[in-house]
Amino acid sequence: MWDAQATTFADSFQILRYDTRGHGQSDAPEGAYALERLGQDVIDVLNSLEIQKVNFCGLSLGGMTGMWLGINAADRIEKLTLCCTAAHVLPKDLWNTRIEQVIAQGMASITKTVLGRWFTPAFLEKDSSEVNSVRKQLQTTPSDGYAGCCAVIRDMDCRDGLPSINKPCLVISGQEDQATPPEHGKMIADGITDSIFKEIPNAAHLANIEQTDIFNQSVIEFLIQ
């Protein structure tokens, strides 16, 4: 997911990437996960590597994790980049339906719908290697892991905690994001005192993939300022 960023940022930063619980090579236990658990997973990774502070960049669920860190573990954060995310997502029934579907029918049953929300129609029509890679990642995600993370999104609410975030923060939204539209990003930025809001044109939910150059420039300028 972050290949294009890791390559670019490695010239200026040490890069640490990890698989969120339920994804990739991380464990995917059954049942609902909680945002606190995902946030503590980050702390556990940092502790195991003896890293005291990081610039944290997260997209979607990763951005929600970033908000939790900013609220609950500010001593481990230098700067926050919160991308294509929301502090609260409704309706809950949507996530309950999604959980039931992937458990009963598998990840293939939602792939087309999810990709249609993650990328703009024009980008999907290219049927690019980037889209194919994301499609493969989605289809190979464990159903239990995906469902567990859906429960995180369903249950989380960071709105009241936003004013307590006292770290420099860049909030990025994709102009055509259906999953977390720009108004969600603006609300987050309005709630964090030391924050910057950036809307990326011609991008949906995975703005870091669809508009890599604009995304990278925005994040690097924020980190080095």
Looking at residue 198, its pLDDT comes to: 98
- Give the residue among 205, 198, 164, 200 at the shortest CA–CA distance from 181: 205
Span 121-145, mean pLDDT?
A: 93
Provide the b/e sequence for 175-207 (b: ≥16 CB within 10 Å): ebbebbbbebbebbbebbeebbbbebeebbbbb
Q: What is the pLDDT of residues 49-98, one digit of tens each?
A: 999 999 999 999 999 999 999 999 999 999 999 999 999 998 999 999 99
Q: What angle do CA 72, 156, 143 make, to 5 degrees?
A: 115
Percent of the chain with pLDDT over 70: 100
What proportion of the chain, given as a percentage, has pLDDT over 90? 97
- For each of the domains in the chain, give its residue range(s) and CATH number, in order of start: 3-224 (3.40.50.1820)
Model confidence at 128: pLDDT above 90: no
Per the prediction, the chain carries an average pLDDT of: 96
Span 20-33, average pLDDT: 96
pLDDT in tens, 143-196: 999 999 999 999 999 999 999 999 999 999 999 999 999 999 999 999 999 899
Amino acid 36: pLDDT: 98
Between the CA of residue 22 and those of 14, 110, 147, what are the distances in Å?
25, 17, 8
Three-class secondary structure assignment of the chain: CCHHHHHHHCCCCCCCCCCCCCCCCCCCCCCCCCHHHHHHHHHHHHHHCCCCCEEEEEECHHHHHHHHHHHHCHHHEEEEEEECCCCECCCHHHHHHHHHHHHHHCHHHCHHHHHHHHCCHHHHHCCCHHHHHHHHHHHCCCHHHHHHHHHHHHHCECHHHHHHCCCCEEEEEECCCCCCCHHHHHHHHHHCCCEEEEEECCCCCCHHHHCHHHHHHHHHHHHHC
Instruction: Kindly state the average pLDDT of the residues 112-120.
Output: 96
Q: What is the pLDDT of residue 214?
A: 98
Rounded mean pLDDT of 123-146? Answer: 93
User: Does pLDDT of 127 surpass 90?
Assistant: no
pLDDT tens digits along 191-216 = 999 899 999 999 999 999 999 999 99
pLDDT band, very low/low/confident/very high, at 225 (cuts 50, 70, 90)? confident
Of residues 115 and 126, which shows the higher confidence score? Answer: 115
**Among candidate residues 151, 8, 27, the one with its CA nearest the CA of residue 89:** 151
Report the pLDDT value the prediction gives residue 126, as an integer from 0 to 100.
85
